[in-house]
Amino acid sequence: MRKGALHIHSLTEKAYAKLNISLDVVSRRPDGYHEMRMIMQTVSLCDEVTVSLRHDGTISIRTNLRYLPCDDRNIAVKAAKAFFANTDTASSGADISITKHIPVCAGMGGGSADGAAVLRALNKLTGKPLNRRELESLGNSLGSDIPFCVAGGTSLAEGKGEILTDLTPLPACIFVIAKPRFSVSTPELFTKIDLCSVRYHPDTQGVLSSIKTRDLKGICQRMYNVFENVLPPKPDDIPKIKGILLDCGALGTVMTGTGSAVFGVFDDEEKAKKAQSYLAQQYSDVFLAEPQGRLDI
């Protein structure tokens, strides 16, 4: 450990969900990945990730959801292995416990947030051998959303998601997030994007300008997700949820990631709570959240 570092052996990190304020697929790359241009925002909805150091090289994991893998398939385990493989620390193993609150397969980056939280926790527990950019680079080897989830906040993400530009924080607002009971296949949507001529793209530059001037209405008027071009017509919950949010007073609404979660942005807490209450009568995963600022790594 660095001189003066606290000799702690266990730490709990909050793993914040992400929302896509806008999402554009610019092109398909020669390596098979896609060139993306996304404005991303972390929100207060979060998982809790507790990491305890071990010295025997063992990495164990447990979660409150029985159906999640508790082996090398879990991104949190991959993150721990990558951290130890890329740092010279006295510890070589960890016990990881994850309490999930972010819905799974929702386009909210729950798994990526957990992986990033493991990286942050291990970095702190071992005396911070890596800085923010090094943690983001390490995260990029694990998944496209992990670099952003390392520090979060409000960012423009380009490339596969690893080229990050810090932006002015969003104005104060309330997100109402609802996830339908079904999930959307990410590979299937990317295949459809490749095969079709996309008619609409988000006004990313307009969103960036509105963020810079802290114009919440301007941001909301320009929110768009290119994957909404290629959604299957049934089930129709996504347009249904968007309509309910707008009817309840949302300034704008959009699907996040490849779905299936949808969120609306409100500047009135009472309207947001009414929207949450109405949606909760039809869907089990409905949340209120606020913008989460960038983490100090």
Q: Tell me how far apart the alpha carbons of residues 61 and 78 are, in angstroms, rounded to a whole number.
A: 11
Residue pair 38/194 in contact by the 8 Å Cβ criterion: no
Q: Establish whether 71 is a catalytic residue.
A: no
Q: Active site residue: 145, 179, 242, 271, which one?
A: 145
Q: Establish whether 274 is a catalytic residue.
A: no
Q: Is 153 left (phi over 0), alpha (psi -120 to 50) or beta?
A: left
Nearest to 122 by CA among 78, 162, 152, 161: 78
Compute CA 68 distance to the chain's CA centroid, rounded to the nearest angstrom. 18
Measured CA to CA in angstroms, residue 257 lies from 51, 120, 189, 282 at distances of 28, 23, 11, 22
Encode burial over 139-156: b for 16+ CB neighbours within 10 A, e otherwise. Answer: bbebbbbbbbbbbbbbbb
Measured CA to CA in angstroms, residue 40 lies from 99, 181, 224 at distances of 23, 24, 12
Q: Active site residue: 18, 100, 242, 271, which one?
A: 18
Angle at which helices 237-247 and 269-280 pack, to 10 degrees?
Answer: 140
Q: List, by residue number, the catalytic residues.
A: 18, 145
